[in-house]
């Protein structure tokens, strides 16, 4: 399997613009996670899905952030409008079983810079 695939790898955008990050999880994985990583806050869980259904979005910072999972092989994280403080690395990850956490697989991340 190719692993978790994220796009774009790098994105530079101007403040106020819409940003859409994309993720393809590993086939057969029931859980998909979106994380944000910054120096100050470390690795933060934004939202996660089970079988395409959002389970917990309490980590989403504000209404400017939204995530969807229209099918088992695709998810998006959207920021509209973007702000400089959204600059971070956004990781998508997937796993087959939530309780057996040693099977979480991360993508290589989307590096977002908002200027």
Partner 1 sequence: QQQVKQSPQSLIVQKGGISIINCAYENTAFDYFPWYQQFPGKGPALLIAIRPDVSEKKEGRFTISFNKSAKQFSLHIMDSQPGDSATYFCAAPPVNRDDKIIFGKGTRLHILP
- Tell me which residue has tokens 């702000």: 83
- Give 50 or 113: the residue with its C-beta nearer to partner 1: 50
> CB-based contacts of 44: which residues, under 8 Å, 6+ apart?
35, 36, 37, 38, 59
Residue window 54-83: x/- pattern of binding to partner 1, with contact defined by CB under 8 A: -xx--x------------------------
Q: SS3 for 13?
A: strand
* Cis amide linkage into residue 8, ω under 30° from 0: yes
- Give 74 or 105: the residue with its C-beta nearer to partner 1: 105
- Give 8 or 16: the residue with its C-beta nearer to partner 1: 8
108 binds partner 1 (CB under 8 A): yes
Strand 74-79 vs strand 42-50: parallel, antiparallel, or unpaired?
Answer: unpaired
Closest distance of CB 2 from partner 1, Å:
14
Structure tokens given for 10: 């790098």
- Give 4 or 112: the residue with its C-beta nearer to partner 1: 4
Residues of this chain that bind partner 1 (CB under 8 A): 4, 41-43, 45, 48, 50, 55-56, 59, 91, 93, 98-109
């Amino acid at each position: 399997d190719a692993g978790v695939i994220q796009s774009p790898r790098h994105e530079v955008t101007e403040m106020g613009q819409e940003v859409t990050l994309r993720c393809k999880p590993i086939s057969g994985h029931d859980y998909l996670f979106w994380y944000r990583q910054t120096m100050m806050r470390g690795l933060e869980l934004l939202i996660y899905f089970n079988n395409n259904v959002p389970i917990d979005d309490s980590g989403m910072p504000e209404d400017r952030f939204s995530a969807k999972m229209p099918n088992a092989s695709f998810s998006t994280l959207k920021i509209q409008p973007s702000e400089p403080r959204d600059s971070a690395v956004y990781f998508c990850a997937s796993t087959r079983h939530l309780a057996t956490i040693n099977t979480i697989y991360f993508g290589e991340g989307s590096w977002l810079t908002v200027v």
